[in-house]
Structure 1
Amino acid sequence: MLKGITVLQIGKYYPPQKYGGMETVLSLLCSGLARAGAEVTALVSNRGPGTTVENIDGVKVVRAGSIGEVLSTSLCPGMPLLIKRLQADILHIHLPNPLAVLSYFLALPKGKLVVSYHSDIVRQSRVYRLYRPLLRRFLEKAERIVVATPCHIRYSPLLTQLKEKCVVVPFGIDRKWSTPSKHVLRKACQVKERYGVPLILFVGRLVYYKGLEYLIEAMKQIDGKALIIGTGPSEKKLKRTIQRAQVRDKVQLLGQVEEEDLLAHYYACDVFVLPSVEQSEAFGIVQLEAMACGKPVVSTNLRSGVPYVNRHGITGLVVEPRDPQSLADAVNLLLKDRGLRERLGEHGREQVRTRYCADRMVEEYFVLYEEVLG
């Protein structure tokens, strides 16, 4: 379908470097497009000063040398020149990424511009006020602005002014999450034996907007064990919070784990919790991973796509952010009612199968690219 089309995807990072939700979506989209016959190049930042090129699943991955990072933005002096050299029919840029926006204007490439708007910039509000006019001009140049949920448009002050350009293409995840091997299921049993049951799971970067301090506080009232998978700048602070709350026997920080072990922990848990507190959590792709494994999700009522993905009373429960009591009540309700857990988990699995699978995401981008190219 896409044979002969060249696509340049520009993101912040590409797996296995800084593997988060944005990187997951980027890699799944790139590999899916490559399998469909497109010539795909992913241009991202490297972790060091050298520029490297490698092939991953049929995708040419160019990591531009970086001299450091400021305000969560990598500094890659060679990015504009690389964009100019890597000409393509479709230039697909994933935001937020101020480096890519500035580099675009410096390079002025010829390809059709498609933008994936993953989230607003929330934390650096002062700098954002200076950056916003450039971002607005950039978005006006785009043929299409793609968002993962209608909430991204509704709650974004910028996108509400550009909604005629916006289209919704839901994120999708790999089918591997819903089809575990026997080895993974054996590992899941070992996780249960090691920690006991019931198990509450969190997966994600340990950063300010994840709201993990509220989960730790809630664990005082939950008869179970919380397993926290991930690393990040908040790790030391969270260790102090766990000690101060006197829940060291209930909360375990497991750090980063291998993909197979991660899948085993999903299947071992009884409830998945995403207690985020800021709009920076724009979608929560880990919710899909938990849902694909048949697990009910407890998430927060943010002005973002998070409660759109986890439907209250359908795939899980939604509570107000920064409310450890409501969080504890929701988790306890699920732990006490196995039938409710299974019903919500099955609905979640069905949602992923029909709406949030990677194959469907890639197919919808096929259609979008064809429309843009005419």
Structure 2
Amino acid sequence: MKILHIGKFYPPFLGGIETVNYDLVEGLHKQNIKTDVLVVNHRKEKFSSDSSKTYLFRAQKNITISSQPISISYLKKIFQCADNYDIVHLHLPNPLATLPFILISKRKFKLVLHWHSDIVKQKVLKFFYKPIQNMVLKKADSIVTTSANYGKESIDLQKFQSKIKNIPIGITPAENKYKSNTLTKIIAGKSNKKIIFALGRLVYYKGFSYLLEAAQQINDEAIIIIGGTGPLRQNLQRFIDTHHLQEKVFLVGRISDEELPDYFTQCDIFCFPSTEKSEAFGVSQIEAMAYGKPVVSTNIKGSGVPWVNQNGISGLVVPPKNPIALATAINLLTNNKKLYADLSIGAKNRYEKLFTKEKMVSSFIELYKNLKNDNK
């Protein structure tokens, strides 16, 4: 069985879809399943294969429009090689990559669309792209969503429910081998404080502004540490300074992969305050669960976020854009030892049941085999 994964970019480019693509491909290789990857090069180099990864092909980017890289060689390569595979696995959203599949009339391969998210922000692009999107959805043999919630609620997928298969994202948590100097300095002399950890790009839909408002209501036995970079950093720091929260809320910037496990290990509660459907799943929630940390997240309508973190099982789920609800949930967990202990166990159990990398890989292998056998 030969598989081709088509993505927008690939590590070392950092992104949620890219990480899932990488983990899945590496997992398939470990199962001795021939898997190649075709992406656009996020750098300026011409089309090339990675010398250290003979299965990885990066096409030269010509221009970028509305976050979409445009690459002529990328399109040519899809046309040239797609029929050499049993399964073509296309990671979406990625409008450019869908174009060849509406033009290929006869094909031997099965087409899997991995629906990571609807196109939410680029509304003008989506208006013109939607007819093409619908044509590709009609041609797909299977559409994979990361949660049942998202598949059922997505307006784009309403006519294609019979094709949907839900396969949650899975991860393997890294070992905590390194101590973060930044974290060590922050918690020095604060051994009696509960640590609330949040992580993500400092952008509007992550909801960190609501967490900062909540900080004013969170009891003084807790400190809040927010990891990540982004355009809202100055605004968030200004709020911290203006409201005299410098000893309670800490923006630590980008956290390296080596140091991240230390943050998850040391924290008591993980907070995921996102506000918009742009947040389709929330991988950092399952990272926290893997370390047995209860999650306080938001009930984003149509998103998989409140499915990932089950209210009363692995954490607490509150309405989005509601600082008082965030503060109340965090205070409840810091004050109620039994509830905290129960949700810690529940978080770990939910991760092990649903969100391991091994389970994700095995679910896709089963899907691939079933699709391939349909040809017989």
TM-score between the two structures when normalised by the length of structure 1: 0.90
RMSD: 2.3
Q: Distance in 2 between the 1:288 and 1:59 partners?
A: 31
Q: Which amino acid is 2:58 matched to?
A: R
Q: Please tell me whether residue 81 in structure 1 is matched to residue 69 in structure 2.
A: no
Q: Distance in 1 between matches of 2:109 and 2:363?
A: 20
Q: Is residue 40–residue 59 contact of structure 1 (8 Å, CA) maintained in 2?
A: no
Does the 8 Å contact 2:180/2:259 carry over to 1? Answer: no
* Matched length: 364
Matches of 1:104 and 1:204, distance apart in 2 = 34
Residue 270 of structure 1 corresponds to which residue in structure 2? 268
Indicate whether 1:27 and 2:22 are aligned: yes
Query: Are the aligned partners of 1:80 and 1:104 in contact in 2 as well (CA < 8 Å)?
Result: no
CA offsets 1:100-146 (integer angstroms, 9 cap, x no match) = 11244467775221011011111122321221111011111110001
Q: Which residue pairs with 2:96 in the alignment?
A: 99
Residue type of the partner of 1:10? I
The aligned counterpart of 1:71 is 66
Q: 2: distance between equivalents of 1:296 and 1:191?
A: 24
5+ residue gaps in structure 1?
Answer: none
Output the CA distance in 2 between the equivalents of 1:41 and 1:195.
51
Map 1:291-302 → 2, pairs under 5 A:
291-302=289-300
* Per-residue deviation, residues 86-113 of structure 1 (Å, max 9, x unmatched): 3322110111111211244467775221
Q: Secondary structure at the match of 1:233?
A: coil
Which residue in 2 is equivalent to 1:321? 320
Structure 2 counterpart of 1:134, one-letter code: I
Deviation at 1:9, TM superposition (A): 0.7
The 5-angstrom pairing of residues 129-140 of structure 1 reads: 129-140=127-138
Cα distance between partner residues in 2 of 1:256 and 1:208: 17
Residue 191 of structure 1 and its aligned partner are, at CA, apart by 6.5
Corresponding residue for residue 87 of structure 2: 90
**1:365: how far off?**
0.7
Matched, 1:143 2:141: yes
Residues 153-195 of structure 1: CA distance to partner in whole angstroms, max 9, x if unpaired? Answer: 2210121210011111111111x35xx35x3579899467448
Q: State which drifts further: 153-162 or 222-231.
A: 222-231
Identity fraction in percent? 38
Q: CA deviation at 1:35?
A: 1.1
What is the distance in 2 between the residues matched to 1:74 and 1:253? Answer: 31
TM-score normalised by structure 2 residue count: 0.90
Residue 357 (str. 1) matches residue 327 (str. 2): no
Corresponding residue to 2:6 among 1, 10, 13:
10
**Amino acid aligned to 1:153:** G
Unaligned runs of 5+ in 2: none
| CA distance in structure 2 between the aligned counterparts of 1:71 and 1:369, rounded to whole angstroms | 32
SS of aligned partner of 2:56 = strand
**SS at 1:201's partner residue?**
strand
Q: How far, CA to CA, are the matches of 1:170 and 1:286 in structure 2?
A: 13
Q: Report the Cα distance in structure 2 between the residues aligned to 1:53 and 1:297, rounded to whole angstroms.
A: 41
Range 234-243 or range 198-207, more displaced: 234-243
Name the CA distance, whole Å, in 2 between partners of 1:76 and 1:239: 39
